[in-house]
Structures are given as C-alpha cells and as structure tokens.
C-alpha cells in the first residue's frame, strides 16, 4: 500500500541550512507537498512539486525530487528560530484518489 516516511527529528543552528527528507512508495504520485505545523495550529502549505519536475525553488525553500528513488527533500536556507515546527511531506497518489497521504512529520528544532 501507500506509505510516506520521514525522519522524526532534526536539530540545526540558526543560520545553517536544514534538509528534511521524505520517501514515498506510490510511483503514480502526481503531486508532492510540504506542510508546516506550528504548536496548536493547523497545517500551512509551504510548497509543492509536480512529479515531472526535479527541483523547485521558492525563496528560502528548495524542493528536490528524485522520482526514480521516490525521494523528496525540503531544504531551508538560512534557518531561523521561527522555522522551528513540524514539517509534513504528503503525496497525492492515484491509489488514494483525492486524499493526501502524509508522513508522520519531522520536528525541526532551531537553536540560536
């Protein structure tokens, strides 16, 4: 079945780059998304990438997609303390219909 996996924790220092990784299993995935969740809040869409692309850049965010290995990453440049949150990778695969399949989330901790 479909599955999305992420590492659970990442700790970086302010000003460094953060790289959050994600693997997925549904090769028919059309779009892949990154969401951010701050404590007590809902999910905020950060960016998404279409499956026929291998890179997308949006200000401090860079998404890399390796479709062959079913690997997705989110790079945050010049990480700030305000970036501390849980980051979720999600896929929209053909098998799930219109539902998104989410990973368990990566908790990013940024220290000053």
Partner 1 sequence: KAGVTQTPRYLIKTRGQQVTLSCSPISGHRSVSWYQQTPGQGLQFLFEYFSETQRNKGNFPGRFSGRQFSNSRSEMNVSTLELGDSALYLCASSSTPGTGSGELFFGEGSRLTVL
- Please provide residue 61's backbone torsions phi and psi, each rounded to the nearest 5 degrees: -100, 135
Binding of residue 2 to partner 1 (CB under 8 A): no
Provide, rounded to whole angstroms, the least separation between the CB of residue 96 and partner 1.
7
Binding-site size for partner 1 (CB under 8 A) equals 23
Give the nearer residue to partner 1 in terms of CB position, either 19 or 45: 45
CB of 34 to partner 1, least distance (A): 10
Site of tokens 């949150």: 85
Burial environment of residue 73 by CB neighbours within 10 A (0 to 12, 13 to 18, 19 or more): middle
- Closer residue to partner 1, CB minimum distance, 56 or 70: 56
Provide the total of helices (H) and of strands (E) in the chain, helices listed first: 0, 11
For residue 17, the surrounding DSSP H or E stretch is: none
- Looking at residues 49 to 108 of the shown chain, list those that interact with partner 1 (rule: CB under 8 A): 50, 88, 92, 96-105
Taking CA 7 as the corner, what is the angle to CA 46 and CA 31, rounded to the nearest 5 degrees? 40
Scanning 11-19, 43-51, 64-72, 77-85 for contacts with partner 1 by CB under 8 A, the matching segment is 43-51
**Bridge partners of 34?**
47, 89
User: Which residues of this chain interact with partner 1, rule CB under 8 A?
Assistant: 30-31, 33, 35, 41-45, 48, 50, 88, 92, 96-105
């Amino acid at each position: 079945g479909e599955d999305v996996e992420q590492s659970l924790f990442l700790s970086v220092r302010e000003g460094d780059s953060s790289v959050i990784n994600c693997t997925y299993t549904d090769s028919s995935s059309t779009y892949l998304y990154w969401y951010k969740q701050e404590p007590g809040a809902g999910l905020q869409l950060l960016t998404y990438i279409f499956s026929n692309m291998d890179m997308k850049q949006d200000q401090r965010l860079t998404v890399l997609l390796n479709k062959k290995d079913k690997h997705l990453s989110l790079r945050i440049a010049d990480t700030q303390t305000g970036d501390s949150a849980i980051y979720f990778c999600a896929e929209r695969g053909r098998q799930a219909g219109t539902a998104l399949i989410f990973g368990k989330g990566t908790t990013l901790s940024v220290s000053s």
